Chains A and B, each alone.
Chain A
């Protein structure tokens, strides 16, 4: 398996523009996570899906952020409108969860977002 695939790797946009980040989880994994990493705030969990259903979105900063998982092999994180403070590295991770819970998370390489 190629691992978790994120696109694009880098995104530069202007304030006010819509940004869409994409993630393809590892085949067979049923849990998907979106994280944001900044120097100031470290690694923050934004949202967690299980079997394509959002389970915990308490980390989504505000209504400008939205995430979808239309099927088991694809997820998007959208920011509309984008602001300079959204500049960060966004990671997607997937995992296989059982009745015992979610286990090891496998991270993608991340998308570095710069909002000018």
Chain B
């Protein structure tokens, strides 16, 4: 079965500390991987994507993600968290048939 897993419902981190939001996937073929962020009462906004090439992808607002093929993971990271980063984060994967699978979302709480 094809799927995306975000094992943590919530991640708490202090402002200024590094953050990691985890994502693993199971999909046939070569996946396209995405991270989106959702602020309250808003639609999802694109953060970054991996298609091919360098395993470390840089995106908006200082976020980056590392693709690990052997572990089928695509964890989202940021070296120094901001309170304004507090939001709901979704990992998504697209298979070769243009089918998208979204994870269940991880709520990031950054405390001052």
Contacts and interface: CB of A to CB of B under 8 A. Distances in A.
Interface of A: 4, 31, 33, 42-43, 45, 48, 50, 55-56, 91, 93, 97, 101-110
B22 interface: no
Q: What secondary structure prevails in chain A residues at the interface with B?
A: strand
B43 A4 contact: yes
B43 A45 contact: no
Contacts of B45: 107
| Interface of chain B, main secondary structure | strand
B15 to A, nearest CB: 27
B102 A42 contact: yes
B100 A105 contact: yes
B100 A110 contact: no
B105 A43 contact: yes
Nearest to A110: B43
Given A43-B44, A101-B96, 6 more contacts: A43-B105, A101-B98, A103-B49, A107-B44, A107-B45, A110-B42
Contacts, number: 52
A3 to B, nearest CB: 9
Contact of B42 (A101, A104, A109): A109
A110 B98 CA distance: 22
Given A42-B102, A56-B99, A110-B43, A101 B94 contact: yes
A93 B100 CA distance: 12
Nearest to A106: B46
Given A42-B104, A104-B34, A109 B46 contact: no
A4 B44 CA distance: 11
B90 interface: yes
Nearest to A104: B46
Contacts of A43: 44, 90, 102, 105
23 contacts: A4-B43, A33-B100, A42-B102, A42-B103, A43-B44, A43-B90, A43-B105, A45-B100, A48-B99, A50-B98, A91-B44, A102-B94, A103-B32, A104-B46, A104-B49, A105-B44, A105-B100, A107-B44, A108-B43, A109-B41, A109-B42, A110-B42, A110-B43
Contacts of B32: 101, 103
